[in-house]
Structure 1
Amino acid sequence: MRKTVAIAVAVVVAVLAVVAAGALTSAVAWATAAVLVVVAAAVIATVSLPPGLQNVVVGLGALLGLAGIAVAVAEFGVRGFRTDSTATLLGLTAGLAGLLVVVGVVAARSLPAPALWGGAGLLAAIALVAGLVVAATVPWLPLSRAVGYTTADAATQVTLSTPAGVEEGDVLVAQIYRSGAGTVTAPAGWNTLRTTALPNNAGSVSLFTATAQAENGPITFTSDAPATLLGGIGAWSNITGVTAPGESTGTGGAVTASPAPEGSSTQVLYFVAGTGVADIVPPEPLADAWTVKADDVVKATTALVTRPALSTDAAAPVSLTSSAPLGAWAVQTVVLAAR
C-alpha cells in the first residue's frame, strides 16, 4: 500500500515539475524539475529498502523542505527584484519537498524517533545553507527604484531631482524633450544614449544615462535656445548594461515602438515623446511609469512605458494607444540587462 501511494505521489511530482518548467522556459527550471523527478523515483525505490536507507529519504525530504522555505523567505524579502515567474519554481520546490517529507516519514515510521529525526536535523542545518546558496544564484532582475519628472516653458534649462531611494551604483536614465530645432546637453558624468528628431521639425527627444553616486543632487540639462522642455528620470538597480537599440517615428495614428531584442533577463523601457496632450495607454503586460504634459506654448506629451523582464514574447511589436491623436511622435527603445 505504501509503495502504491509513493508511486502515485511520484507521478504528481513529475507532472508538476514538467508543467512548471515548461511555463518558465528556463534551463534552470528544467534542471530543477529533472532532479526532483529523479528524487521522487528514488522515494519509490526506497520504500522497499532497509530502514537505514529509508532514513536517508526522510533526511532528504527535510533538506528539500527547509531549502524551499529558505528560498521562499528570501524571495519574499526581495520581491521587488524579481518577477512572478520565479514564484512558480519556488512553489514547486516547496510543494515537492513537502510531499517527499510525507512519503519519507510514512516509509520510515517504524524507525525509533531519535534515529529518524537526529539525521533529519543534521541535514536540516545543511538545508539552510543550501537555501541561501539557491537564493543567491536565482537571477536578480531589474528593480525600478523611483521616477521623477518636470516641465519648463520657454526655458534654456530643465532641472530634474534625483528619484527618492536611489543607491550608489544604480543606473539612472533621463528623457528630455525639446520643442523645435536645437540640441540638449547633459551635465558632466552623463552619457547620451540616443537623440531622435520628431517628424516635421516638431522637436527632438534625447536619452541620457549615468551611474548614481553616493550623493546625488539636482540634475540640470541645458538647451541651446529657449524652448519648451519636458523631462523625466528613472532609477533602476541590478543592471549590468544599458543600450538603446531602436527608435521609431510617425505622425498621428497608433504609436508603435521598435521591437526590442529577445532576452529573458532584460527589462525594456519605451520612451514616448509627441506633440499634443494625451494619455498613453500601454497593452498588457506593459505598465505606464510616468506621463509629463505641457500645454502653455507648444503642447506636448512624454511618457515612459515599461515591459517586465521574463516577458513571454520579448521581441513582440508594441503598439501604444493615445487617448487623443498625437501629432509628430517618437518612441525610443531602451534595454536594461540584468545581473
Structure 2
Amino acid sequence: MRKTVAIVVAVVVAVLAVVSAAALGSPVAWAAAAVLVVVTAAVVAVVTLTPTLQRVLVGLGGVLGLVAIVVAVAEFGVRGFRTDSTAALLGVAAGLGGLLVVAGVAAGRSAPRPAALWGAAAVLAALGLVAGVVVAATVPFLPLSRAVGYTTADAATEVTLSTPAGVQDGDVMVAQVFRSGAGEIRPPAGWTALRTTALPGGVGSVSLFTSTAQGATGPVTFTSDTPATLLGGIGAWSHVAAVAAPGETTGAGGAVTAAPAPADSATQVLYFVAGTNVADIVPPEPLADAWTVKADDRVKATTALVVRPALDADPAAPVSVTPSAPLGAWAVQTVVLTAE
C-alpha cells in the first residue's frame, strides 16, 4: 500500500513540476515528466535501498526543494518576472526534489532514521512545489528578444525588411522605418502603426509599426509615397501581452535623451533612436545596443535600438546616449512591451 501511494504521489509531483515550469504546452516537458515517473515507480517497486542510500536520496530531495524555494522567492519577491531559463530551473528543482523524497522514503523496508530527516525533506520538497506553482500562476515572463534584422534603401519608394530568424507564432514584432524628407511610410497588411515622429527641421521622420507573427513569416515591404532614403529594422519578442509607444523626444546635436519610461518590472522598454548624420551609438551600461543601421549616401542617417535592462536601480529615469559624432536632428521613440 505504501508503494502504491508513493507511485501516485510521484505522478502528482511530476505534473506539478511541469506546471511550476509553465511548460503545460511543451510535449518535451510532459515526456520528461513521464520518464521520471516511470523511473521513480520502478525504483519504488523493485529496488530495496539501504538506510544510507535512503538518507542520501532524501537529503538530495530536500536540498533541491530548498533550491526551488530560493528560485521562487527571487522571482516572486525580488525580480518580479521569470525568464525561460529560470522557469525551467524551477520546474526541474521542484520536480526532482519531490521525486527523490518519494523514492527515498518508499523504496525501502522502512523509513530512514532519523525520521526527522525524511519529514523535513518532504516539507521542503512540498513547499518548493507549491512555491513553483504560485510563481507560475502569478509572476509574468520577461519579454524575450528573439532577434533583429535591418536593411537600407536609397532614392527608393520601398524598403524590404527581413523578418528576424527564429520568430515563432504569437511573437510580437516591432519595426522602425526612417524616411528622409517629407512624406509618409505605409505598412503592409497585418501591420499596425504605433507612432510617427517628425525630426526637427523637416529633414525626415521615423515611424513605428507592430504585428503578431502568425504562420510562416518572410520579408516585409514598407512603401513611401515619394522616393527617399529609407532604413529600418524589425525586432521580435516572445512572452508579450501588449505593445505601446507612449512617448517620444526630439532634438538636435549633443546627447540623445529619451523620455522617462514606466518602472514596472513586468515590462521591457525599447528606445528607438533615429537621427541625421552617421555616428556610432554606444549606450551606457547596462543598456544594450540591439541594432544600428547607417546610410551614408545622399542623406546620411543612423538608427539604433537601445534596450533597457530588466534590472535597473532607477528604471523610470531618462536614458541618455552620446553618439560618437553629433547627430543633426534626432528623435527617440519609447516602446513598452508588457509581459504576458
TM-score range, shorter chain: 0.5 to 0.7
Counterparts in 2 of 1:163-312, with a 5 A limit? 163-312=164-313
Residue 235 of structure 1 and its aligned partner are, at CA, apart by: 0.5
Distance 1:184 1:68 in 2: 55
Counterparts in 2 of 1:25-44, with a 5 A limit? none
Output the aligned Cα RMSD.
Answer: 3.3
Residue 281 of structure 1 and its aligned partner are, at CA, apart by: 1.6
Distance 1:125 1:259 in 2: 43
Distance 1:190 1:113 in 2: 65
Question: 1:136 aligned to 2:123?
Answer: no
**What residue is the counterpart of 1:36 in the other structure?**
none
Distance 1:166 1:266 in 2: 20
Quickly say closer, same or farther: Cα 1:125–1:67, change in 2 above 3 A. Answer: closer
**What residue is the counterpart of 2:100 in the other structure?**
none
- String of CA shifts for 1:158-190, please: whole Å, max 9, x gaps: 111111111111110000000010000001111
Distance 1:219 1:338 in 2: 25
- String of CA shifts for 1:49-91, please: whole Å, max 9, x gaps: xxxxxxxxxxx9987633343467999xxxx96399x89xx9x
Quickly say closer, same or farther: Cα 1:215–1:320, change in 2 above 3 A. Answer: same
Distance 1:198 1:112 in 2: 74
Distance 2:182 2:154 in 1: 15
Residue 126 of structure 1 and its aligned partner are, at CA, apart by: 3.3
5+ residue gaps, structure 2, are: 1-57, 75-80, 98-110
Residue 266 of structure 1 and its aligned partner are, at CA, apart by: 1.2
Residue 311 of structure 1 and its aligned partner are, at CA, apart by: 2.5
Aligned to 1:65, what secondary structure does the other structure show?
helix
- String of CA shifts for 1:23-52, please: whole Å, max 9, x gaps: xxxxxxxxxxxxxxxxxxxxxxxxxxxxxx
Aligned to 1:164, what secondary structure does the other structure show?
coil
Distance 1:126 1:116 in 2: 15
Distance 2:123 2:82 in 1: 30
Q: Is the 8 A contact 1:63 1:123 kept in 2?
A: no
- Of 308-317 and 327-336, deviating more is 308-317
Distance 1:243 1:292 in 2: 23
Residue 119 of structure 1 and its aligned partner are, at CA, apart by: 3.4
**What residue is the counterpart of 2:63 in the other structure?**
65
5+ residue gaps, structure 1, are: 1-59, 98-110
Quickly say closer, same or farther: Cα 1:161–1:125, change in 2 above 3 A. Answer: same
Residue identity matched to 2:173? L
Aligned to 2:322, what secondary structure does the other structure show?
strand
TM-score between the two structures when normalised by the length of structure 2:
0.67
Task: Report the count of equivalent residues.
Answer: 256
**What residue is the counterpart of 2:101 in the other structure?**
none
Aligned to 1:188, what secondary structure does the other structure show?
coil
Distance 1:200 1:168 in 2: 41
Distance 1:158 1:112 in 2: 70
**What residue is the counterpart of 2:148 in the other structure?**
147
Q: Is the 8 A contact 2:288 2:307 kept in 1?
A: yes
TM-score between the two structures when normalised by the length of structure 1:
0.68
